């Protein structure tokens, strides 16, 4: 076999270390430096000729720096004669700009896909893309994994007496329904009107939550405005408790303050993005073993889809 190596960008070193431990394979050495004006300089410190290489890098904040770091690392590996380059992107930044929702705006997710392919990436593995159609922006294989695996196991362990799954908006119904189906639970939906970016107003709850333990399911929690307002609406409609399960903990702006003081009883996230601070309400589940298994299966040409069957 050709052999494979894993490299890590600087976005989430701890996540890469967990994958390294799962695979019993050390993270290969690459020097990442910056010039005085902020430009990124990378040098691969060991031979990768003929190797299958996996780059582990979330494109989370600072998004532009982490994205450029991944692209430059890819170019360095390509010019060092790596046999193939797979990008392991736990959090895919710019995924929220996936269509022309208004006149004269970019489709940035497509632009990022083009950049990755041009740099030399041969395959992408990520989890809970904001929109599944982004896979079609690539002309290379894309594995879009599901965070619902770890969430379902965690929810089952809570042993709720009267649980119900909720989608925080119409767009997330398919994702929430998948979790509800796997657990054999009913589904409610929050109907909201978004006045402008990062602000929302809960308008109506479709379904009955009285005396129930509500479990909100979403892919991203950013400013936490939607989630906390939905939690407040559920409590006002008689819910006993509200827990949110969100794969990507962006948590920008005043998100931590909202989570700490609002009606949300617990927030469960994964480690695709490192947290800026710890909070007693926030529980972190690791998806690193899932990505570690994906790396192993990709290298040995085994089925990735069978992980979720």
Angle (deg, nearest 10), helices 288-299 and 13-23: 50
Phi and psi at residue 105, to the nearest 5°: -125, 155
Q: How far apart are CA 69 and CA 16, in angstroms?
A: 15
Question: Rounded to an integer, what is the distance from CA 166 to the centroid of its chain?
Answer: 19
CA distance 4 to 68: 23
Residue 250: count of CB within 10 angstroms of its CB: 21
Give the residue from 50, 2, 1, 9 showing the smallest Cα distance to 28. 9
The count of other CB atoms within 10 Å of the CB of residue 309 is 5
Q: How far apart are CA 217 and CA 227, in angstroms?
A: 9
> How many C-beta neighbours within 10 Å does residue 273 have?
23
Dig out the tokens for 121 from the structure. Answer: 């990436």
Which residue stretches of the chain are H helix? 13-23, 63-79, 108-119, 148-158, 173-183, 225-236, 255-261, 288-299
181 is catalytic: no
Catalytic residue from among 5, 192, 212, 235 = 192
The closest alpha carbon to 213, from 233, 234, 239, 188, belongs to 239
Catalytic positions, please? 192
């Amino acid at each position: 076999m050709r052999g494979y190596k894993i490299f890590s960008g600087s976005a989430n070193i701890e996540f890469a270390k967990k994958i390294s431990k799962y695979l019993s394979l050390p993270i290969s050495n690459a020097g990442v430096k910056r010039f005085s004006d902020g430009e990124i300089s990378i040098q691969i410190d060991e031979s990768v000729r003929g190797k299958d290489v996996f780059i582990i890098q979330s494109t989370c904040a600072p998004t532009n720096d982490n994205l450029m770091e991944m692209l430059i690392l890819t170019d360095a590996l390509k010019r060092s004669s790596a046999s193939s380059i797979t990008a392991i992107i736990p959090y895919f930044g710019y995924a929220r700009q996936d269509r022309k929702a208004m006149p004269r705006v970019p489709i940035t997710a497509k632009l990022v896909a083009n950049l990755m392919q041009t740099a030399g990436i041969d395959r992408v593995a990520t989890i809970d893309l904001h929109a599944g159609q982004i896979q079609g922006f690539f002309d290379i294989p894309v594995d879009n994994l599901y965070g619902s695996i770890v969430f379902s196991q965690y929810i089952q362990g809570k042993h709720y007496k009267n649980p119900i799954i909720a989608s925080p908006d119409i767009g997330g119904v398919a994702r929430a329904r998948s979790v509800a189906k796997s657990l054999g639970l009913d589904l409610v939906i929050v109907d909201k009107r978004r006045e402008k970016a990062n602000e929302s107003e809960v308008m109506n709850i479709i379904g009955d939550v009285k005396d129930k333990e509500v479990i909100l399911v979403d892919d991203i929690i950013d400013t936490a405005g939607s989630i906390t307002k939905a939690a407040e609406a559920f409590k006002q409609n008689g819910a006993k408790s509200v827990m949110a399960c969100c794969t990507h903990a962006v948590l920008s702006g005043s998100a931590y303050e909202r989570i700490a003081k609002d009606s949300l009883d617990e927030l469960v996230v994964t480690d695709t993005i490192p947290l800026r601070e710890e909070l007693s309400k926030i529980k972190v589940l690791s998806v690193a073993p899932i990505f570690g298994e994906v790396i192993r299966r990709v290298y040995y040409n085994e089925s990735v889809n069978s992980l979720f069957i």
